[in-house]
Amino acid sequence: MTSALLLLLPPLLQDPASLLAAQRAGLGDPAALAGLGTVRSRGKVKFEDYPAVGSFTDLLAPDGRSRQEVAFEGVPPAVRCTNGKLYWMSGTGGVEIKKGWSAAADVRLFALGRHRDWREVYARAELVGETQVGERACYELAMLPKPPAELGLEAVPGEEAPAPDVWWLDRDSKELVAVAVYATLSGAGWQRLVMDYSDWRTVAGVRFPFRTRLTFGPPDHQGVLAITCESLETHAKPQGDPFQPEDAVFAELARIASGKAANDPGFAVTQRKETLTASVRVRCKPEQLQQQLAIIFPEVMGHLNRVQVAPAGAPFTRYHAFGDEIDLEAGIPVSGKFDGNGRVKLSSLPGGEVVSGMHVGPYEELSRTHELLAQWVAAEGLTPQGGPWEVYWTDPGLERDPAKWRTELFQQVAPRPQADSEASPAPGAAPAGRSAALERLGIMVGTWKVTGGGGAVHGEVRFEWLEGGHFLIQRVDLMHGEQRVQGIEVIGHQRQAGEEPAAEITSRFYDSAGNTSDFVWEAGEGTLSIWGGQRGSEVAFHGRFSADRNTLTGAWSWPGGGLEFTSTRVLEAR
């Protein structure tokens, strides 16, 4: 639209603020808008041209705390969340702690969901002109975001501002037709998200769109999600505090605090279920591997679309044999059985005990991580069973930076004999060389009943000395809301062979979901302190024992939140 034509518009409609005021007036009663409580919406999500159907839940509180989650079978849920201070995202790209413009984009996305006034998150609006969105004539507005500092967020030095957001308003009704926002997606980095709204309905005096068509990705690799809201509440009362971080977020905070590299594979033994797959098995020269995968994955996906079987996970490659030729099997996990056709067969990935670890970086460097995996398995005294496999969590068509590609490696191992820890004799006197600091942690030996967060967390933990008495073992079995947290933690002084032990007492926790977390421990005179990552971390527990040393009360704290805990000894220390 030329500037001359723009001059022909009525003066009032040349003012972006007036257009946006008309749009807001159309949302409903001002008192109802101002009185919105926690908005909770739930429904279904479906990729166009893709048979899988997932679910979503949005929780948007008046004080800015927000959580958006999308879940598909076999894939880590995509979560975008803030507790009001800490912003994070998790999914196929792992956990990302957000700052700067990335966090600011989330603030704007959350604001859209609960109809916050545009002036709270945008510095100004500019009228671009008129355009067509589908069959609707619209005004196009460039919305210039407020910088992170003005939103109370930590800025990232040297970070450039993204392009302005775009709002399209219906020319006649001023209804919000579509919005474009630059934001980060888990496993995909910065993307332009275009949300087309329709099926507006009134709930408690306020209008909300019940259908959204979300388009993202570059023009040559776009994804389209159809989002259908099935229920919406304007004064929801969620159980517990769903805006606080999950264990994987704490693990990432601890990693950042410790200075540990993000590309550490973090190998751990986990239990997994056997997974049905659709796959093609071939033999090829090593230099032909990428060419073969570029053929196999579309072939498998095409067959699943034809037989209408939903994928249930990310693409994988399993290596049955290496040599002058590679015997490989590549495909996609599936939600159920199907009839094979040609090269595409029904197969499976094994269950049982597996060692897993995450490779972050280019595919060309995967061979080195496979070597590290084999070395770790051997060092742990484990016996490999069958060939290793890779799961590709990053779509290179969306995330173009190979340094950020995430590939999970798996190796099935023979089951380990289960030690009868209850029957193991506890060491008597402290072994030679056990430090006084570690000896003080012996107060934890025994079984403890744990409750926290007003009952949101409950279960048991058990501490015992590892044979030899130089390390303390904690076995964890807790419920955190509806999530079960199980794992084992090894606590003591790190010591390389032939070297002196480290001064601090540190630990590594391995959970049943495959996450690892590092901590620093310190027992004082009747006190216990634990820091995530390193001493002084913002993720920390501080507690005090009762006079009889059978009750420990304290609290975990982290940026923007915390939980009080009470642990009560239920078995005598041995």
Here the CATH number for the domain that contains residue 473 is 2.40.128.20
pLDDT in tens, 344-396: 999 999 999 999 999 999 999 999 999 999 999 999 899 999 999 999 999 99
Q: Is the pLDDT of residue 316 over 80?
A: yes
* Structure confidence at residue 467 as a pLDDT band (50, 70, 90): confident
Q: Are residues 13 and 120 in the same domain?
A: yes
Residue 183's domain comprises: 3-243
Region 426-449 average pLDDT = 78
Q: Are residues 100 and 225 in the same domain?
A: yes
Out of 308-312, 416-420, 422-426, 474-478, pick the least confident: 422-426
pLDDT in tens, 52-110: 899 999 999 999 999 999 999 988 999 999 999 999 999 999 999 999 999 999 999 99
Q: Model-level pTM?
A: 0.81
Q: Are residues 34 and 158 in the same domain?
A: yes
Here the CATH number for the domain that contains residue 303 is 3.20.80.10
Asked if residue 549 is part of any domain, the answer here is: yes
Question: Higher confidence at residue 432 or residue 301?
Answer: 301
Q: Is the pLDDT of residue 572 over 60?
A: no
Q: Are residues 406 and 442 in the same domain?
A: no
Q: Are residues 406 and 443 in the same domain?
A: no
Q: Are residues 309 and 350 in the same domain?
A: yes
What is residue 1's three-state secondary structure? coil
Q: Are residues 338 and 195 in the same domain?
A: no
Here the CATH number for the domain that contains residue 63 is 2.50.20
Q: Are residues 183 and 329 in the same domain?
A: no
Region 259-280 average pLDDT = 87
* Structure confidence at residue 424 as a pLDDT band (50, 70, 90): very low
pLDDT in tens, 388-401: 999 999 999 999 99
277 has which bridge partners? 333, 347
Asked if residue 255 is part of any domain, the answer here is: no
pLDDT at 113: 95
Q: Is the pLDDT of residue 475 over 90?
A: yes
Asked if residue 488 is part of any domain, the answer here is: yes
pLDDT at 14: 66
Q: Are residues 404 and 487 in the same domain?
A: no
Percent of the chain with pLDDT over 70: 94
Region 164-169 average pLDDT = 98
Q: Are residues 282 and 206 in the same domain?
A: no
Which of these three, 243, 259, 276, is where a domain ends? 243
Distance CA 427, CA 442 (A): 11
Asked if residue 559 is part of any domain, the answer here is: yes
Asked if residue 210 is part of any domain, the answer here is: yes
What mean pLDDT is reported for the chain?
A: 89
Asked if residue 154 is part of any domain, the answer here is: yes
Q: Are residues 78 and 222 in the same domain?
A: yes
Q: How many CB atoms lie within 10 A of CB 63?
A: 8
Distance CA 407, CA 368 (A): 13
pLDDT at 500: 81
Q: How many CB atoms lie within 10 A of CB 235?
A: 12
Q: Are residues 449 and 403 in the same domain?
A: no
Residue type, 336: G
> How many domains does the chain fold into?
3
Asked if residue 250 is part of any domain, the answer here is: no
Q: Dihedral of CA 282/285/291/293: which sign?
A: positive
Buried b / exposed e over 163-187, threshold 16 CB at 10 Å, is ebbbbbbbbeebbbbbbbbbbbbbb
Distance CA 309, CA 296 (A): 17
Residue 371: partners with Cβ closer than 8 Å, 6 or more residues away: none
pLDDT in tens, 127-155: 999 999 999 999 999 999 999 999 999 99
Asked if residue 477 is part of any domain, the answer here is: yes
Of the candidates 270, 227, 308, 243, the one whose C-alpha atom is nearest the C-alpha of residue 415 is 270
pLDDT at 512: 82
Region 413-441 average pLDDT = 67
Residue 316: partners with Cβ closer than 8 Å, 6 or more residues away: 277, 330, 331, 332, 333, 349, 389, 390, 391, 392
443 in the Ramachandran plot: left (φ > 0), alpha (ψ -120 to 50) or beta? alpha
Region 258-274 average pLDDT = 84
Q: What token pair was written down for 558?
A: 């982290």
